[in-house]
Homo-oligomer: A and B are copies of this chain.
Amino acid sequence: MKKINVKKGTLLQQKGEISSKIYLVESGLLRSYTIDKKGKEHIYMFGPENWLVADNCEPNTPCQLFIDAIEDSIIYVATKEELLKEGPDLNALLKRLETMQNRIIMLMSSNAKERYEHFVKTYPNITQRVPLKMVASYLGITPEALSRVRQVLSQKT
């Protein structure tokens, strides 16, 4: 498990690579995202401190996700084989499944405003660290739509 420093903007993994790695964030902020056929970016996950960032693709197939650093970060890198050998953290895996379940339910049932509220709950401390357009991309809405949602929410306070 190698420890590395990366500068803001560093691309750690490209869509299409075969042996996608696992990244454990010690400090800083990563993001994983995909680009669809229309060239549009969709953020799959943010990786702040202590999060595990990875592409859960099948072994030995091209991965789907790009991973890069939104902030200068210190991260541990491991191959999936390494992690499997030493026995992965089951609790972390279950926690991950829970997060994804919540996200799926959110995406199926929520409008723009509810999605934003869900995001604030899931990532309480990173709203100020991430540009609005990335939050919008994570939520599956446009920056314009998110801007308007935040406007009405801020008027309520």
How many copies of this chain does one complex carry?
2
Interface: A155 (CB within 8 A) = no
Is A57 engaged at the interface, CB distance under 8 Å to the other chain? yes
Residue A44 lies at the interface, judged by CB distance under 8 Å to chain B: yes
- Set B42, B88, B97: member contacting A56, Cβ < 8 A: B97
Interface residues on A, range: 20 to 34
- A41-77 residues at the B interface, CB under 8 angstroms: 42, 44, 55-58, 64
Query: Could you give, for residues 105-117 of chain A, a 1 whenever the CB lies within 8 Å of some chain B CB and a 0 otherwise?
Result: 1011100000000
Chain B contacts for A58, CB-based, 8 A? 98
Q: If A88-B90, A104-B104 touch, does A140 touch B97 (CB 8 Å cutoff)?
A: no
CA distance A154 to B98 in the complex (A): 37
In contact, A96 and B97 (Cβ under 8 angstroms): yes
CA–CA, A88 and B107, complex, Å: 28
User: A140, B42: Cβ atoms under 8 Å?
Assistant: no
Bound complex: CA A105 to CA B64 (Å): 10
Residues of B within 8 A of A34 (CB): 105, 109
Write out the residue numbers on chain B whose beta carbons fall within 8 Å of the beta carbon of A103.
104
Closest 3 CB pairs of A and B: A108-B140, A56-B97, A107-B107
Show 11 residue pairs from A and B whose CB-CB distance is below 8 angstroms, ordered by the A residue.
A34-B105, A42-B108, A56-B94, A56-B101, A57-B98, A64-B102, A88-B90, A100-B100, A100-B104, A104-B104, A104-B107
